[in-house]
Amino acid sequence: MNIKPLADRVLIEPISTEEKTKSGIVLPETAEKEKPEQGKVVAVGPGRPNKPINVKKGDIVLFTKYGPNEIKIDNKEYLIAREEDILAILEK
């Protein structure tokens, strides 16, 4: 399925943020953690008139936890967020 976000919306594939200790024990996220989430940009809308979008396909971004809308496509979960819900682009 091909999705093209509208206006200033961005389609994001969430990245798991589970942590592992040195011994290999997985520490899952807990409800009390209110940190921003991470994801990979899959598609970007055209933007608003006179306001280009600052992210591009393939960028790894931090976004607000409760801003994006969750959707499911072909049994895979994605998020659709407005550009204003994206806090930062992670660079290597």
63: domain CATH number is 2.30.33.40
Q: Is residue 29 assigned to a domain?
A: no
Tokens standing for 76?
């895979």
- Inform me whether the pLDDT recorded for 50 exceeds 70: yes
Q: What is the pLDDT of residues 15-39, one digit of tens each?
A: 876 555 666 666 665 544 555 689 9
Share of the chain above pLDDT 90, in %: 60
Residues 40, 56: Cα–Cα separation, whole Å: 10
Print the domain residue range for 59: 1-15+36-42+55-92
* 69, 80 Cβ separation under 8 angstroms: yes
Q: Is the pTM of this model over 0.75?
A: yes
Task: Kindly report the number of other CB atoms within 10 A of residue 77's CB atom.
Answer: 10
Give pLDDT, residue 31.
46
State the total domains in the chain.
1
Inside any domain, residue 25 = no
